[in-house]
Every structure is written in C-alpha cells, then in structure tokens.
Structure 1
Amino acid sequence: MKSVPVRIRPSQRLDDNLLARFERTHLRCRAEMEHWLEAVPHAAAMLCFKGNDLQLVSVNKTFYSSFLESSDPDAEMPYCQDWRERILEVALADNVSSSFELRRDGPLGPEYFSCTAGLLPSNEEGVNLILFTAMDRTSDRVTERNLRRELLSDGLTALPNRTGFGEEIDDRLRNTPWAGNSQFGIIAIDLSRFSRVNESLGPMAGDELLITVAKRLKSNLRQGDVLARIGGNDFAIFARLNNGLSDCLHIVQRVKDALNSPIRLSDLQIRVDCAIGCALSTSLDDDPDDVVRKAQAAVKIAKRSGKVEIYRNGVLKEAQRRFSIESRLRTALAQGDLTLAYQPLIQLQTGEITGFEALARWNDPDLGNVSPCEFIAVAEESGLITPLGRWAAYEAAQALSRWDAKFGQALPVGINVNLSPIQMARDDVASMFEEALRYSGVSGKRLTVELTESAIIADPDKARKLLVALKDLQMPIAMDDFGTGYSNLASLHSLPIDILKIDRSFVSTMLEDKDKQAIVRTILSLAESLNLHVTAEGIETQELAHALQSMGCGHGQGFYFARPMPENEAFDYWRARWNFETI
C-alpha cells in the first residue's frame, strides 16, 4: 500500500517529499514495513516524531479506507487532533505504549475505535518511530448501549426501572439548571388490589393494566418530570418543585385525575385505586436514593390510612427498625431465642387459678426487649406469623406437659394460645393443634384458642370450618378483645364459641365511665343468654375485681393478680395458690 500523507493539524501542510526523505534517513527496509502494516488485521499506521513534528509515514489499507479515503486533505478533521495529542504524549514522555478510545461522528451515527500507540526502536537520536493501531469497536459499543438500555428500563412499560430511575435523577440534578430555592420531590404510587386483577383475569390482563396506567401517568407529567416503574405494581415520579409542597400536591392531584376514569380490560371496566406517598428533599445535595426510600416509607403508611401521606421525620427510621426486627426475628425463630410468658386467669368468685394465657416475649442481644405489639405486627406483615404461631402452640402444649410431670399428674389448669388472623388464613391450623396435642400428650380441653372478631369477619365460612375442626379436638374457643370488632348476635349464636373476653379498653376505666360500665353489663347479659363464659381483661385494682365479681363476671386477668411470668414462676405461682385464696 502506497504511503499517504495526512493533514495532522490545520497549520501544518506536509511536504510532498516527506516520505522519500524519511525513507532515506530512517527506513532502509520501507517495503518490509509496509508488509508489516498489511499484516495487522485492523487499521494501522507508522508515524515519525522528530523535532516536535509528528508526521505520518505509512498506512495499511484498513487505515486508509477508515480514515483517509473519504477525507478531504484540505479539510480539518477534528478527530485527528485527539489521537495526535495522545501520540505526542507517548513520544514526549518516552512511554512504551498508550491506549485510548477514539469517538467520531460517522454517516450512520457515532463510531468508536480502540486505539494504541507504541514506540518502536530507532537508530537515530531524537527520532521516535510510533506504531498506531485503531480497532473498530462500534458494534461492541452499540451492543453495550442496547444492553444498558434494557438493564435500565422496564420491558413491559418502557419506563425506567429502579436503577434507571436513579440514573435519570442524577442526570437531571447534574445537567439541569436549578434556581436557588428549588427542590425535588419523589411521589411513590402503589396500585391497590392489583393482585386481584392477576388472580381473576390472568397475568396478561394485569400487564395490560400496568401499560395503560403507565401511559396515563406519563401523559400527565410536566416537562422535566421522570416517571419510572420501580416494582411490580409500584410507580414513582421525580418532580422538580419550585413551590415546595404545593407543587407536589398539584402533581398528586394530576395523578389522581389520570387514574380517576375506569380502565377497560376485556369486557370489564376496572377502577384503579392507589396509595400515594411523597417525600421532599431539603436541598439539592440530598441523596436521591434516600428520598426515594422515604417516599416508599410514606406510601406504606398511605396503604393503611387511605390518604395521601407526606414523609415525616422518623418514618424512615421506623421502617428501618421494622426491617431490623424482621431480620432478627427470623434468626430468633430459627435459633429458638423467643420465650413464652404466662399470665394467670382467675376465677373471680373463688380466686382459683383456672389457666394461663401464653404471651410471646423476645429479648434480642442487639435490639433489647422488643414489645410484642411491635414484633407481632412485623411478623404479620412479613409472613413470619405462621412459624411464630406454630412455635407458640407447640411450646404452650409442651409447657403443660412439663407442669404435669412436675406435679405428678395433670394440673387442673389450661393454657390459652392466641391465633392471628393471618395465620388462620394461610396455615393449616387444625393440623397444627392436633400435632401439638399429640406430641405433648395433653388433652385438647386444656388448650384454648383465642381469636379476634376480625379473624372471623374476614372469612366467616372458613372460620366456621376451622372452629368446628378445633371443637372436634375438644378445644375451647375464646373470642378475644370482644366489643371492639364487628360481631353480631347471629355470628355468636352460629359459631361454636365458648368464652368472651371483654377488651381492657372497657374494663380498665369502667368505674369512672358509666357508659363503659353499661357496655360491660350488656356483654355479661349477652353471654349469660348465650350460655358463654366471660373473662375480663385489664383488671389492675382490687376495686375493679370486686366490681366485676359483683356484676357476675366469671373470670378475670390483669396486673392486679399477676404480670406475665416465665414458665417455672408460673408453675410456682399456681402451686402457692393451690388453696384458692379469695380475691
């Protein structure tokens, strides 16, 4: 291939005799060098650096067709300046080699070359021979760009995914001019009851619903806002806020308006409800990921409250604590670190201890004593309530068995075990209690199940079948927190319930509140009519105990009698009161 000069810089026009002069002074085997360049499978050129002057000596066919053939010798080629400067760095610094990437605008779009410049031995002082190669990487870069686009976007809606959302936010914050008082906000949107669409109409209908929602939301965005699908049925909006919360609430209203009209799926019209949570940055320096997490924490509260929620300080810490509790609780269940405490149930007329209520307790090495209200709520939310409930049932039955062994015969007491509505819906509860009784050798009459009114109302037919199965095991059934739910006389009469437990909210202040005292009397009268036993919770004073006794209440529990205590202390407490002290 004949050597071709190239214009390296606008101010320099190469001498036509350059190659001949270079051949006479530097390259005795010119033909051999041309053969070497042609042996290189990609673009290659030989350059000479002498006296601060860089000159092109020889090129192969690939280099000529890629860089020189279509070029006007008199035209300025900006991309030449890039690799010329890198080659000069090699020559001036006496670097053995250097690698870099060259980008130029081609007829079909950007073109990319992976370039190397390496020094060759030279016999003449002050003269550097440089081998320059350029490998076409355009197809690789296009493939990488396409793969990156797929990694950063949601394949169903073509919106940015969670990762792409973060990059879009970073790009807006870096490359968009912001006024001094500007801030940004994240609006998190959770589609309510989306799983029901999948279950009833199938996943294709669910996909169609998501696509339609995405289109509606996107059509209502302002210029510069970013919409992303960050989860299965979760969307998020990055919004520029010039007027703080008022701008944010304006966007929320646009979201509501977009989803207000029903969406047609097949022959059905579906109304989309959503929970919306918002978080506002305090400054443009805030970590966007942190603001997104705050918005997601707010939307969880919105799902419970049914209202638009704005993130408040402390909510994220609460969410992080719930996550820590869930993680530690999972470990505690696996390692057997939870215990049961037992609070006595007292026969108010005689003072006899007729049983105990088993209450879960957890002392974690890192979190300390965690309240049952806290970790049971987390267990129900995370699904850990099933293994937790199973552990409690087995452990309570085993405790009765150990007490019997200590006493030498079956104790005349039983244990009440709480049953969560979540476990009731997801677990085979009847089989669980059957196993607990069989493994412990305890009669079903001594293990009472306590369930709340909400567990029955959620699925009355399933609840009735379960209660019948538990009655087949001879287990008593207690309705806990009675008076706070939605029970009616028909459900009480039709279900095999044995005990009503009056909620402490009525009992603890009934001496000062005549209305609550009337409610307690009504419940006692109702229970007597239905031939049900009654236990009053929250008895904390002797006056309350005597008042309930005089009203005809059969049993009570509360701090006046005893606080929940460990298994061994509970057994000792029962044995010490074996003579049936009066209250």
Structure 2
Amino acid sequence: MGGSATVKQDRGRQAAAALDPIILAHQAEQLRRPFLEALPLPGAIVALGADGLELIDGNTEFQRLDRAAGDGRLLARCDFRDALSDFLRGQGTILDLEWIDGDLISGRQYSVRAARLFTIQARGNRCLLTLLDRTAERAAEKNLRLEMFSDSLTGLPNRAGFGDQLEAVLDAAPVGGIAVLALDLTRFSRINESIGDVVGDELLITVARRLLSTMRAGDVLARTGGNEFGVFVSINDGPEEVLAVAERINAVLAAPCRLSELEIRIGCAIGCAVHAGDCTADELIRRAQFALKRAKTTGATELYQPRALDIARQQFTIETCLRRAIEAERLTLAYQPVIELRTGRVCGFEALARWREGGVDIPPSTFIPVAEESGLVLPLGRWALAEAMRTLGSWDRRAGAPMPVSMAVNVSAIQVARDDVPAMLEDAIRAHKVAPERIALELTESAIVADPDRAAKAMDAVRSIGATIALDDFGTGYSNLAYLQRLPIDVLKIDKSFVTGMLGDRDKVAIVRAILSLAQALGLGTTAEGVETPELSQTLAALGCTLAQGYHYAAPLDADAAFAYWSRNNSAAT
C-alpha cells in the first residue's frame, strides 16, 4: 500500500511540474526554433503585450532583416504596427499587408502575412509574422508595365498607356474640363514607301519632339498608332481652347522637317472631343477619332458632334439589317418606264432596288450609300441584275414573245472596281435566256473616274457581249469629255437636277441644250430623268432628247404593274 501511494505522489509532482510556466516556455522554445528555422523566408512570433508589440522569437532570416536598419528594429520602423496591433486585439486569423522597407525608389518591397497562434499558458495574443521579398518581382512588373504602356520608338505612352492615364484623370476632372485630340500625319505612308522605314522612324521622332514642345504642364502626348498621335489636355474655356491647341500643333508642324539631306513638309488632320461627363476614356478617344475621320475629308480641324456619331451608328444598324435582308432575299425591284419621246411608246424600264423593313420603306438614298461603304453593294448588285433578267424573261413568257423593251440596271463604282461585271452579266443572260441587246448597264461618272483603265476594260467587255452602256447622272460628277471619246458609251442620262424646273431657269435650259448637242455630235442617245409635267416632255422632245422617264409617265412600279403599264401603252400606241 505504501509503495503504491509513493508512485502516485511522484506522478502528481511530475504532472504539476509539466504545468509549470517556466517548464512550458522552455519546451515551447525547443519546439518553435526548428519550426521557425525551417521556414524558407523571414519569420517571427510576435505578441501583443502591455507596452505594445513584442518580438518573441525570430529565425535567422528575420534576425538579419531585423538588424538591417541602422536606426531601429523592424517592428519599430515598419509602417504596419497599428494594423498588426489591431489585428491581434481582434478576432481575425489572417492579415495580409504590403510594406516598403525604405523609400519608393531604392526600398525593398515585401508581402507581409500575420497568422494568429492559439497557444496555452502564453502571455498576450500572438501571431506568426512572415515576410516575402517581392522587390525583384515588383521591378519586373514595373518594367513590363512600362514596356506594355510605352511606345518603343518615341518613348511616349502608347494607345494602352494613353487610355490608362486618361482614365485616371477623368475621375477627378470636372465636366468639360478634359479634351482629347486625335492626330493623323498626312502623306506619311507615301514618305515611308518612297524613302524607307528608317527615315519614316526618324520623321516620327522629329514630329514627337515638336509636338512635345507645344504641350503645357499636365498635357499628355501619346503615339496611338503607326502615324497617329493622341493628346489630352485640361481646359477651362470650352471648345475654343481645344481649337487653340490644335492651331499650335498645326503651327509647329508647318515648318519642313530636315531629315538627312531632305526637307519634308508634313501636316496633320486633327479631330477633337470634349469630355461631357457621359463617357469613359475609351469612348472619349473614339469620339476624337470619329471627328478625325471627318477632318481627313474636310481638311479642317473638326470637333466631335454627337449627331454625327448617332448617324454613323444608325448606318451600322442599317448595314446589319441590309445584310440579313439580302441573304433572306427580302429586297424587291421596282421598274420605272422609259418613254420614247418621238412616239410615246414604252421602250424600256429601269430596275430600282426597294427595301421595306419592319413595315417601313427604307429609301435608296439611305441604304445604297451604306451598301457601297460596307461592300454589300456587290451581292446587292448581283441580285439586282439577276432579278431584273428573271423579270424580263417572265414578261416575255406572259407576252408570248420577246417584248420590244430593254432593261436598265445600275452598276456602282464599287462593283466596277471589285467585281467581274462582264462575267456577272454573262451568268444572268445564260440563266434567264435574255438577249444581251435588251440589257443596259448604267454607270456613274465616279465609277469611271475612280479607275479609268479598269472601267474601260469592263465596258469594252460588256459591249462585246452585246449589252449597251449608259452614263448615269451626266454633268453632276467629274465630267471629262475625253471619256466620251475613249469609252464605249451609248447613252447619256441627263440628271434630274438639270431637268426639274428647267422651264423657269434659262441656265438649266442652256445646260440641257448643250448636253443634247454634244450627244448628237458624238452619236449618242439621251435620256432625261425627272420629267414631271407634259410641258417638260414636249420641250425635251423639241430640243431633240431621245428618251425620258419620270413621274409624268409613271412612278417606279412592281413587276406586275409594270407589265400592265406596258400592255396598256402598247395598245394605245397601236
């Protein structure tokens, strides 16, 4: 019994000794040293005592870092002491911080993490503090960002950097206090092609230096594209101040640039947009570029006009709907009779594209320019020619024999430039079995002026097939009388702007008379457009005009109504 009691007493003393704080602290120290030294980065155990933060223990890496500052230890010099103290007083388990040990330029950058330690018999709340040196990583990020947002040739911000800086200032700028100017150097492509890329690069550097000389404090200049620059400026006096900046830019570029042994004069087109508080940095830049597009056309500095952008966006909507309408074959043709003035007979029809979308008629003056700009005029033109030939073939079958009428189809300048018009014509003739002599292709003067050689080859090929060629809207474009001699033109169509109101305008009468005399001298037929009164019809016939069309005779008709009109006219004339 006595021996058993002695053993129990010894075990009790050992248990009490095990709970002694000094012994516990010694054991904890023996356990944490290997743990701390095993960490691959500076680490320490930090406690919150009565006098503030206390360093309980740190590994070798932490001690080296702790001694690095000459004027104090890490916990004394760091700027996260208050945050770490608040963390230890609270209930959180993890705290992440960023710390720069030193100044912004030469200081070391660390990611700091504090993880709460839950201990027994420990004095004060404790955490494990670790520091990860990210100095090299941050330097690499900075260099990469600098490379990503800078133009390597001029050293200016690039498109991304320009937008980034503009976004930063827009947040604090008042409405109307920031303006963006988009610049496009004129003739730069020609200089690059004729002199070389090296001189072109030298020119860009010279231009960048000149533009920088016009900048005020706070203005930002960027190279946003190959030969494009962007500027954003702070303004107080509205658009007038922006235009003054543009004038300074034009003035500094007025003097020739001296490159090697050459003196090259280069100008620029400028588009401007003022921040109205309703857009982001990217949208403001797009607005300036939209104004720049107009400046390239007008030759003057242009300010962004919201209505112009609305129209452009509306055109994109029209383009999308038109593409779907062409693919789904929802367009139709209307046929306007062409009258022989001498006999009054219907001798032909002009096929005109019509488009009705969502119960609304879209006028050709709206969708044809969109089709030409977007390239949709190619499938539209092919469809129109094929549909016109199909209609003419169906009329022949209804009449029981080929009708003594021709069909005129308009061909755009884009078609002449990009499509194989003769092959397209041959395909339509073959598919619908229509004699080529009954087909007239109407070209505008712009189709000829754009590429005279290509136009001449296409027209010769069309004539060799057997079709006739009419020059549409004669007198309204870039009339060149040499074309009338060189090109195989059969008919001159007198634009309705000369015909409408002709009886009350002596100048218009003189112009029409001159065109008719010229056509007669060259052996060409003539068609007057826009004839709306009997008096006009009689006057044109007296002047010697061959054919006419207009609302006096009939508006453009659908296929069935046009056939019925021909039948009535043919019967009446007989």
Measured against the shorter chain, the TM-score band is: 0.7 to 0.9
Q: How many Å separate the matches in 2 of 1:206 and 1:386?
A: 37
Normalised TM-score (structure 2): 0.86
Aligned partner of residue 555 in structure 2, secondary structure: coil
2:58 — aligned with what?
59
Alpha carbons 2:158, 2:222 under 8 Å: kept: yes
Q: What residue is the counterpart of 1:223 in the other structure?
A: 217
Contact 1:79 1:102 in 2 (8 A): no
Letter in 1 for 2:183: I
SS at 1:154's partner residue? coil
User: Is the deviation greater in 466-475 or in 520-529?
Assistant: 466-475
Task: Give the aligned partner of residue 314 of structure 2.
Answer: 321
Per-residue CA distance 1:412-450 (angstroms, 9 max, x = gap): 333222222233223333333333333333333233221
The CA deviation at 1:134 is: 1.8
Q: Residue 10 of structure 1 corresponds to which residue in structure 2?
A: none
Distance between the aligned counterparts of 1:198 and 1:369, measured in 2? Answer: 48
Counterpart AA for 2:519? A
1:132 shift after superposition:
1.6
For the residue of structure 2 that corresponds to 1:391, the secondary structure is helix
| Structure 1 residue aligned with 2:16 | none
Equivalent residue for 2:180? 186
Match of 2:538 among 522, 541, 546: 546
Instruction: Find out whether 1:132 has 2:125 as its counterpart.
Output: no
CA shift for structure 1 position 378: 2.6
- Show CA shifts across 1:69-105 (max 9, x none): 31236478786231x3343343222222232332343
1:485 aligns with 2:477: yes
- CA separation in 2, counterparts of 1:161 and 1:442? 59
Taking the aligned partners of 2:77 and 2:98, their CA distance within structure 1 comes to: 11
**TM-superposed deviation, 1:497:** 0.4
Checking the alignment, whether the CA contact within 8 Å between 1:294 and 1:315 is kept in structure 2 is no
Q: Where does 1:432-511 land on structure 2 (aligned, <5 Å)? A: 432-511=424-503
CA distance in 1, matches of 2:375, 2:433: 29
Please state whether the residue corresponding to 2:370 is helix, strand or coil.
helix
Query: Contact 1:198 / 1:206 at 8 angstroms: preserved in 2?
Result: yes
Q: Deviations over 1:41-80 (max 9, x none)?
A: 2222112235584321122223233x31312364787862
- SS for the counterpart of 1:511 is helix
Distance 1:377 1:481 in 2: 16
What are the residue-to-residue correspondences of 1:66-465 with 2, within 5 Å?
67-72=65-70, 74=72, 80-82=78-80, 84-105=81-102, 109-124=106-121, 127-173=124-170, 183-201=177-195, 206-263=200-257, 269-282=263-276, 287-365=280-358, 368-465=360-457
Question: Which residue of 1 is the match for residue 9 of structure 2?
Answer: none
Measure, in 2, the Cα distance between the counterparts of 1:386 and 1:266: 47
User: Does the 8 Å CA contact 2:436/2:466 hold for their aligned counterparts?
Assistant: yes
The CA distance in 1 between the partners of 2:355 and 2:66, in whole Å, is 77
Aligned-partner Cα distance in 1 for 2:48–2:515? 103
Q: How far apart are the structure 1 equivalents of 2:355 and 2:22? A: 88
Q: Any idea what SS the aligned residue of 1:238 has? A: strand
| 1:360-404: CA deviation from partner (whole Å, max 9, x where unpaired) | 3333349x5433223222333333333333333333333334444
**Contact 1:450–1:480 under 8 Å retained in 2:** yes
Equivalenced residues, count: 555
Point out where structure 2 has 5 or more consecutive residues left out of the alignment: 1-19
Q: 1:90·1:118 contact (CA, 8 Å) conserved in 2?
A: no
Contact 1:353 1:580 in 2 (8 A): no
Q: CA deviation at 1:526?
A: 1.1
- The 2-side partners of 1:202 and 1:411 are apart by 62
Look at both structures and tell me which one has the larger radius of gyration over its CA atoms: 2
SS of the residue aligned with 1:131?
A: strand
CA spacing shift, 1:190–1:361, aligned 2, 3 Å: farther
Greater shift in the superposed pair: 336-345 or 491-500: 336-345
Q: State the SS of the aligned residue for 2:102.
A: strand
- In the TM superposition, residue 510 of structure 1 has moved relative to its aligned partner by 0.3
* 2:84 alignment partner, SS class: helix
Query: 5+ residue gaps in structure 1?
Result: 1-20
Decide whether the 8 Å contact of 2:346 with 2:405 is kept in 1: yes
Residue 570 (1) aligns with residue 570 (2): no
Distance verdict in 2 for CA 1:40–1:210, change over 3 Å: same
String of CA shifts for 1:458-512, please: whole Å, max 9, x gaps: 3333322222122122221111111122324332122110010001110001011
Q: What CA distance in whole angstroms lies between the structure 2 residues aligned with 1:292 and 1:214?
A: 19
Partner in structure 2 of residue 48 of structure 1: 47
Aligned to 2:14: none
User: How far did 1:562 drift?
Assistant: 2.4
RMSD value over aligned CA atoms? Answer: 3.2
State the Cα deviation string for residues 7-39 of structure 1 (Å, max 9, x = none): xxxxxxxxxxxxxx9976646231321211122
Give the deviation of 1:230 after TM superposition: 3.1
With over 3 angstroms needed to count, the CA separation of the structure-2 counterparts of 1:103 and 1:360, relative to structure 1, is farther
Q: 1:573 to 1:144 in 2, by over 3 A?
A: farther
Mark the CA change 1:228 to 1:402 in structure 2 (over 3 Å): closer, same or farther. Answer: farther
Q: 1:34 to 1:287 in 2, by over 3 A?
A: same
After superposition, the Cα gap between the structure-2 partners of 1:58 and 1:438, relative to the gap in structure 1 and judged at 3 Å, is farther
Change (3 A) 1:192 1:557: farther
Report the CA distance shift for 1:106/1:299 in structure 2 as closer, same or farther (over 3 A): closer
Identity of aligned residues (%): 44
Deviation string, structure 1 residues 204-241 (Cα, Å, up to 9, x no partner): 55555444433332232222212223344332221222
Q: Which residue of 2 aligns with 1:557?
A: 549
Distance 1:152 1:446, change over 3 A: farther
Is contact 2:491-2:526 (8 Å) kept? yes
**2:218 touches 2:233 (CA, 8 Å); kept in 1?**
yes
Counterpart of 2:17 in structure 1 is: none
Q: 1:477 to 1:141 in 2, by over 3 A?
A: same
Look up the equivalent residue of 2:524 and give its one-letter code. L
TM-aligned CA distance change 1:74 to 1:529, over 3 Å = closer
CA contact (8 A) 2:66 2:73 kept: no
* Aligned counterpart for 2:507 among listed residues 505, 515, 521: 515
CA offset at residue 252 of structure 1?
1.4
SS of 1:578's equivalent in the other structure is: helix
Shift of 1:535: 0.7
State whether residues 53 and 75 of structure 2, in contact with CA within 8 Å, keep that contact through their aligned partners in structure 1: no
Equivalent pair of 1:95/1:119 in contact (CA under 8 Å):
yes
Contact 1:350–1:580 under 8 Å retained in 2: no
Separation in 1, partners of 2:261, 2:413: 35
Question: Structure 1 residues 150, 129: CA separation in 2 closer, same or farther (over 3 Å shift)?
Answer: same
Is the alpha carbon distance of 1:445 and 1:64 closer, same or farther for their aligned partners in structure 2, counting shifts above 3 Å? Answer: farther
**Between structures 1 and 2, the one with greater helix share:** 2
**2-side partners of 1:412 and 1:23: how far apart?**
122
Question: 1:403 & 1:37 partners in 2: Cα distance?
Answer: 98
**Maintained 8 Å contact 1:392/1:417:** yes
Amino acid at match of 1:71: A
Q: For the residues of structure 2 that align with 1:538 and 1:365, how far apart are their CA atoms?
A: 29
Instruction: Give the letter for the 1:87 counterpart.
Output: L
Determine the structure 1 residue equivalent to 2:517: 525
Structure 2 vs 1, CA of residues 282 and 95 (structure 1 numbering), >3 Å: closer, same or farther?
closer
Q: Residue type of the partner of 1:153?
A: S
Q: TM-score by structure 1 length?
A: 0.85
